[in-house]
Amino acid sequence: MKKAFTDEGATLVRVQCARPGAPAHLFLADEGKSVLVLRLMGDAIIVNGNDLLAFEPTINHKITMMRKLSSVVSGGLFNVRLEGQGCVAILTHGKPITIPVAADLPPVFTDAEATVAWSANVTCDFHTDVSLKTFFGRGSGESFQMKFGPPPRGARGFVIVQPFEEHPPPPQTS
């Protein structure tokens, strides 16, 4: 459904070793992007669907839809929620920055087109800063931002951003 309406989303491919139980190496890439490997220990993260490279079979995945229409501006309506124990590989343009999110810190605002992933326990909303100046090219900063608030009960979370704005791919014509 998401492919038909938004032309976004990657195809998931299962890789199986020709000799189960035998050691093997798998090399993956996507146009020279950096690969960041995260080890989940029973927790969950949300990853922009275009930035997910691989995950182990011990990780449960679920495609999620952003609740706000403004998320289309941030590169898409759909993300992937990953949860469990194992490794997840995500892609970034350049070296990513991890920003902590906690109750004792101010909320984190990120450029929606540079946001790659975030811990699933943080609150995520979209913030708009559109004014008349925006329409005349005199606005400062980003018009659409993601706002991350602290997780419940004093827990901590994080947001991963890249030093690059990823724009949604243009619609394919046949």
> pLDDT tens digits, residue range 24-71?
888 888 889 999 999 999 999 999 988 999 999 999 999 887 655 444
Q: Answer whether residue 22 is part of any domain.
A: no
Nearest to 90 by CA among 111, 119, 112: 119
Cβ-based neighbours of 115, under 8 Å, separated by 6 or more: 48, 74, 146, 159, 160, 161
Calpha distance 117→64 (Å, rounded): 13
Average pLDDT for 136-151: 74
Q: Answer whether residue 76 is part of any domain.
A: yes
Q: Answer whether residue 23 is part of any domain.
A: no
Calpha distance 75→48 (Å, rounded): 8
- CATH no. for residue 86? 3.60.160.10
Q: Answer whether residue 127 is part of any domain.
A: yes
pLDDT band at 4 (very low <50, low <70, confident <90, very high): very low
Average pLDDT for 134-152: 72
Residue where the block lists tokens 């998320």: 71
Calpha distance 159→149 (Å, rounded): 10
More confident residue, 142 or 40: 40
Residues paired with 162 in a beta bridge: none
Give pLDDT tens digits for 83-131.
999 999 999 999 999 999 999 999 999 998 899 999 999 999 887 776 5
Is the whole-model pTM more than 0.85? no
- Give the per-residue pLDDT at 69: 47
Calpha distance 123→60 (Å, rounded): 21
Q: Answer whether residue 64 is part of any domain.
A: yes
Residue 60 structural domain: 34-161
Q: Answer whether residue 169 is part of any domain.
A: no
Q: Answer whether residue 6 is part of any domain.
A: no
What total of structural domains would you count in the chain?
Answer: 1
